[in-house]
Structure 1
């Protein structure tokens, strides 16, 4: 299969990692395999709350999320807010356009396909830690189309005039909240929450809520 690859001659460095998974044998297998390749697995978190607490206090180089972890996708925004110096990587992703783009839209720095051999994992994680990613040509094309659909850079990184309520909604979407959760947290009706989300996306020139995280990262860097 053709692949989109970014190569580097950089020497591997010791990395610290944290694993978010409720599967014990996955953690034990990864800890054993990665420790032999200069990657230290600090701990396993079986809840998002524990992961947030750890990365907020002592951020590792990488936070590895099991793709099958319940609520992992929705928690990426919350983890990003706590782990500003940590790259988030999702493990064992089914390499389809919908699956990969969903995680990228959420804000992960990289992904490991579920077809990856354990022996190849350390080198792939080292690459992601350097800002690199290996993916199929098909997925590379999907990512390029996604970037194109975001529109001109000026539109995504500008700061439109938002109401206080829209700023609240923006923060909640960025932290992975669904419309029902937004309505509950702001004590408004579901219809009103949907209306705020619709208006917010229009002001930001975004087509769907999955692009909000990318917009927020662009605004932070601007």
Structure 2
């Protein structure tokens, strides 16, 4: 599989090596992204031209990042399918027109970050490293839009100890927020996988969230409340 690869040492202060998968049916876009990332010691596993292929590779290889071309047909719908197969993979949409409606649509779908269409290739590796750490650089206008979204549809001033979460659900909440998959939650809490899935399902229902990708934003908002 390894179309563009380069090794890296995460010691001596260097950022940890990341692996990435690219979902795009545009060959020159893939080649440009792959070359920029490989030069920055980010391993590009492969290019996918279909959602089914992306789901299969994510399930098998669990890359750190999945980059989706914003112009990819049915890309928004693809996010949910890929999230169901992903463990720790963060989904990043690339070349987004940085308007409020576009950015919020992708975030509601469940992406962990986005790269605007005004970004330069030379800046891409640092932006992806930031997203992998749970950070997202965005314009002041988009930041304001995201805050309004959290205010209007988020926890509405509730803390992470509400609404009426059990002790176990609080544990699950923190583990999801730290990027743990259901199998890892089950192992850390010494419970069955089915029980872990049940806790996650109940937790999302209580927080009025549609998918686990929204938990990190919920926690950040709750901590500020």
The TM-score bracket by the shorter chain reads: 0.5 to 0.7
Report whether the alignment pairs 1:14 with 2:10: no
Q: In the alignment, which residue of structure 2 is the partner of 1:42?
A: 45
Q: In the alignment, which residue of structure 2 is the partner of 1:212?
A: 210
Distance in 2 separating the partners of 1:80 and 1:215: 8
Q: Secondary structure at the match of 1:126?
A: helix
Cα displacement (A) at 1:31: 1.1
Q: Which runs of 5+ in 2 are unaligned?
A: 1-12, 165-204, 220-225
Cα displacement (A) at 1:153: 4.1
Conserved? CA contact 2:65–2:90, under 8 Å: yes
Cα displacement (A) at 1:32: 1.2
Cα displacement (A) at 1:30: 1.2
Distance in 2 separating the partners of 1:27 and 1:91: 11
Distance in 2 separating the partners of 1:205 and 1:60: 28
Higher relative contact order (CA 8 A, sep 6+): 1
Q: Secondary structure at the match of 2:210?
A: helix
The two structures have a TM-score, normalised by structure 2, of 0.66
Cα displacement (A) at 1:217: 4.2
Conserved? CA contact 1:105–1:213, under 8 Å: no
Report whether the alignment pairs 1:32 with 2:32: no
Q: In the alignment, which residue of structure 2 is the partner of 1:173?
A: none
> What is the RMSD computed on CA atoms of the aligned residues?
2.6
Indicate which of 127, 143, 152 corresponds to 1:140: 143
Q: Deviations over 1:8-31 (max 9, x none)?
A: xx7422110000000011111111
Conserved? CA contact 1:19–1:63, under 8 Å: yes
The two structures have a TM-score, normalised by structure 1, of 0.67
Q: In the alignment, which residue of structure 2 is the partner of 1:65?
A: 68
Distance in 2 separating the partners of 1:144 and 1:11: 33
Q: Secondary structure at the match of 2:91?
A: strand
Report whether the alignment pairs 1:95 with 2:98: yes
Q: Which runs of 5+ in 1 are unaligned?
A: 1-9, 160-202
Q: In the alignment, which residue of structure 1 is the partner of 2:87?
A: 84
Q: Deviations over 1:144-194 (max 9, x none)?
A: 111111234479x859xxxxxxxxxxxxxxxxxxxxxxxxxxxxxxxxxxx
